[in-house]
Amino acid sequence: MKFLKTRRKRKRILNSDLDMGILSEKKLLIGVSGGIASYKVCEVIRQLTDLGASVQVVLTKHAANFVTALTFETLTNQPALTEMFPEDGMVATRHIDVPRMVDRLLICPATANLIGKIANGIADDLLSSMIMVAGAEKTTVCPAMNTDMWFNPIVQKNVDALRELGYSFIDPGFGELACRTEGIGKLASVERIVSRMRIELLYSNVFKGKNFLITAGPTREFLDPVRYLTNASSGKMGYALAEAALSRGANVKLITGPTVLDTPEGATLIEVNNAVEMEEAVKISYPSTDILVMAAAVADYAPIRASRSKIKKGKDDLTLGLRRTPDILGSLAKSKEERIHVGFAMETENLIANARKKIQEKNLDLIVANNLLVEGAGFETDTNVVTIIDREGGEMSLPNMSKRELALTIMDEVAAFVGTRSSQIKSAIHV
């Protein structure tokens, strides 16, 4: 049976060039404590609500000195919660009811004071009480504070204790702080926070314990210290696949060519420049890999000889000698064993025929094929239009959708293939 016909159906918005609706029906409670970084939460809220999430804010009295409750109410279209004992007729048990009803609690920013309260079981206001009810498995903490405060042994002890209990952390980054010094303590970027929320709100454990190796981006083959051969790949598809695999519980190693993208929260990043470096990185990680997804646009040719100095412009035309680069997928075909291999085919003609040929030549289980000339597909776009083909001939054409939504769909197909293979193995054992 072709597994593409048995794929699990999942609600999504089609024909969209954005991720609108990807978090629809997800409920998120954001706890804001009193730090200067609280103003950045406004952009976090905007991006998450754009993705369809229902967001409500609970803020401490100190937080209200930085950003007003009215601001959060305007952004979320829901009441901002501030008082433990409301005078507005709201239910007095909301410190219990609200955290029970949401899918996730994000504390952003989390001050040293609030972290200390959580670690020591103090629930003396509405936010800290809600954190006690939500518990560790449901809570993500985004610390933000001065460097000296962050590295204070007491703070680090509290953070370690919370990690051990199962609280999820998005660690602070390095940068300029409110006190005009530089150091670690700056709130994680909006992109990192939103990425983690996408992963955690969409989380399932279908790939728990599975090791994914995903490649992304272009490679650069240098002609001289100034110039190189490359392509227009942005890496967006590979990075979206890494995030999607993380949201399905996988361990993810991401090998990437040069990009300007933020690493998906939780992925192990390995940066390379050229095809030879990518081949070496893949082969080092391959033995421990369960599922290989080759989404990188690896250059097919490289200069036979790179110049050590800049090639000067002369009066005559320049002829370049090119050699083939390593065929990474092809070289792994014979050593594949029980691993799952997923490839990509980017074509401008004979899409399906070329993709089917590639499945056979490279011993693939799945191939994702797209025509770069189709509107909405190809490099440097936020969308793609693809056909997914399996090794048994099953074929599924998908409409224009965001690369993040497509990545989730591809992960569904990989999961379906893994499930089908497991069923076949069990049947063979019983026979």
Catalytic residue ranges = 179
Round to the nearest angstrom and report the end-to-end CA distance of the chain: 18
Contact status, residue 395 vs residue 388, Cβ threshold 8 Å? yes
What DSSP character marks residue 390? E
Residues making up the chain, counted from first to last: 431
Distances from the Cα of 83 to the Cα of 24, 102, 115, 131, angstroms: 28, 19, 20, 15
CB 155 within 8 A of CB 116: yes
Question: Which amino acid would we find at residue 372?
Answer: L
Residue 102 tokens, joined: 């949401």
Residue 379 C-alpha from the chain's centroid = 18
Separation of alpha carbons 51 and 195, rounded Å: 11
Other residues' Cβ atoms within 10 Å of the Cβ of residue 69: 17
Where does residue 264 fall: left (phi above 0), alpha (psi -120 to 50 degrees), or beta otherwise? Answer: beta
User: What gap in Å lies between CA 264 and CA 191, rounded to an integer?
Assistant: 9
CB 175 within 8 A of CB 141: no
Environment class of residue 391 by beta-carbon count within 10 Å: exposed (0-12), middle (13-18) or buried (19+)?
middle
